[in-house]
Each structure stands twice: as structure tokens, then as C-alpha cells.
Amino acid sequence: MIPDDWTAHRREDGEVVGWIRPEGDAWAAVDILGRDVVGADVDGAMEWLDAEAVLEARGLAFLADVWMLERADAPALRVRIVEVVPGRVDESGRTVVKTDDFGAIDAPSQSILLPWPAPAALRPPRADDASGSPWG
């Protein structure tokens, strides 16, 4: 569920790209996955206009990238994000991923339901990741 003190930030077309939430006496940018936006030039707490700029720069395109899903009992699985639904009042949100089909139209894929905010187990790929193929 989206906390009451988070303010939605929308693109020019009205699409929500994230939220701005209080961080002490400043603000933090939260992406559509419900995660604080951090990086080389983002340290967490910032001015409101900076938080807006961070969310505008982040956008939604990163959702189309390949992701890895860490599993306790197996190697990380290569996945694609299919759906992100933040929770509403008294409702849990969800993040749905599917195993990556590597562009094959006839390849089987499996949908996996995750909570929202997306867990840390859903992460961008690293150079040391194996292919993450469900077929080996």
C-alpha cells in the first residue's frame, strides 16, 4: 500500500513514474517499483525539484530491461517485468515477472507473482550472472 505521505509524480501525459516522500527535512524519490532511487549522483535526501528531476530522468523505460530474480534454492533466474501494481488503500500491490523467453515465440515461460514494493531479490543483471536461462 502506498503510504499517505507519498506524493505521486506524473509525466506530462499523466502516467505515474514514481513518488516523492519525506526524508527528514528533505525529500526522496521513489520509483514505480516502490524503491528509493539511488545512484552515483543521488544520495537519497534532496530538494523537491531535484526529486522530480530524478523521477523524470528515471522514467518507466527501465522496466523493459532484463532483470534477475534471486532464488534461495537455485541460480538467479532471468526475467522480464510484466506488471507493476502499487497497492491502494487497504490493498496489497503486486509485481509480476515472467521468465525471459529470449525472444522465442514458442518458448515456455512462467509467471511469478511478487509483492509490491518489489523485493530486493528482483535486481538488474550483473556481469557475473550466468545466462539465467530456464533451459540451462
* Tens of pLDDT, residue by residue, the chain (136 residues): 888 899 999 999 999 999 999 999 999 999 999 999 976 566 668 999 999 999 999 999 999 999 999 999 988 999 999 999 998 767 889 999 999 877 767 778 899 999 999 999 999 998 888 765 554 4
For residue 109, how many other CB atoms are within 10 A of its CB? Answer: 16
The torsion region of residue 77 among left (phi > 0), alpha (psi -120 to 50) and beta comes to: beta
Does the residue 70 lie in any domain? yes
In a domain, 129, yes or no: no
- Domain total of the chain: 2
Residue 97 domain flag: yes
* Domain carrying residue 16: 7-60
16 shares its domain with 45: yes
Give the pLDDT score at 92: 86
Question: What integer pLDDT is reported at residue 35 of this predicted model?
Answer: 93
Residue partners of 105: CB distance under 8 A and separation at least 6: none
Q: Give the model's pLDDT for residue 136.
A: 47
Q: What is the dihedral of CA 24, 7, 125, 82, to 10 degrees?
A: 160
Q: Rounded to two decimals, what is the model's pTM? A: 0.85
